[in-house]
Structure 1
């Protein structure tokens, strides 16, 4: 039984070390793929499920000064830029700034169009509402990635974590 425990412990440490080494990079690339994919869809009218809500939100936020023929391609390009920045790991500070600015914009329909975002306010979201609420995960992923932009890392060894806390 003791050898089995040692084997599991050794495997757990290896897996945890692998996750610490590659987890943030995989998070960054997968988040980038999501942004690039969703941005790309917006270049093709009717393919993005969020297009109508995004159009009306931007129209309201810009007081009707930016027509949909301009705002949606700009939003599409913005999301593709975020995606490319995350996938390549280049210009991360600028990429994360664009990401957080875009996320502020995506949450505004909750306040501007609550009747379309919820079937029963505030606990039963529509499909569009679910689309917006899942952005909390994207923001959280951006925060984790942002914590590593200046060289921060995930540390798998709890002894090292305890040692750094005493600094």
Structure 2
């Protein structure tokens, strides 16, 4: 294969990725949040125990109530990611939700880290840290919301 052929294929693939990348991010975030969110009020989420343990200190609302609230909150995030006009709402709700998502790293280190070592994550810790990628995806989508005006 010649360099010209390789570059042509590479450019074609790059163009396709530009075209489909952001819609794929949008749809992926919607799927993740609707799916994971729906599992919570149905009592089917593998994160239920971690979530309930994380919110047990809250002065109002019982853990099972918070499970439902957070589940519906996540469903809303997912639905709002389906439409570009509602990205701002989705991103705002996502960043508020992420504050709570990272709380176990600080309040439940025995659950999120192996032997107290912050470099050795448990499965729960990995589940939480992967949200850095979700935050990054939301930033990529949010970056399209503001278009600089040229005068």
Quick check: 1:81–1:95 contact (8 Å CA) kept in 2?
yes
Structure 1 segments of 4+ aligned residues over 4 angstroms from their partners: none
State TM-score, norm by structure 1. 0.82
Q: 2:50 aligns with which of 27, 30, 53?
A: 53
For the 8 Å contact 2:30–2:81, the answer to whether it is kept is yes
Which of the residues 105, 108, 111 maps onto 1:113? 108
- What is the TM-score with the length of structure 2 in the denominator? 0.90
Larger Rg: 1
Q: Deviations over 1:50-103 (max 9, x none)?
A: 11111121222x22x111232111101000011111123341111100011111
Q: Hey, what does 2:21 align to over in structure 1? A: 23
Paired with 1:94 and 1:77, the residues of 2 have a C-alpha distance of: 14
User: Unaligned 5+ residue runs, structure 2?
Assistant: none
Unmatched segments (≥5 aa) in structure 1: 153-167
Which protein has greater RCO, CA pairs closer than 8 Å, 6+ apart? 1
Which of 89, 94, 98 matches 1:103? Answer: 98
Let me know the Cα RMSD of the aligned residues. 1.6
Q: Is the 8 A contact 1:30 1:87 kept in 2?
A: no
Corresponding residue for residue 127 of structure 2:
131
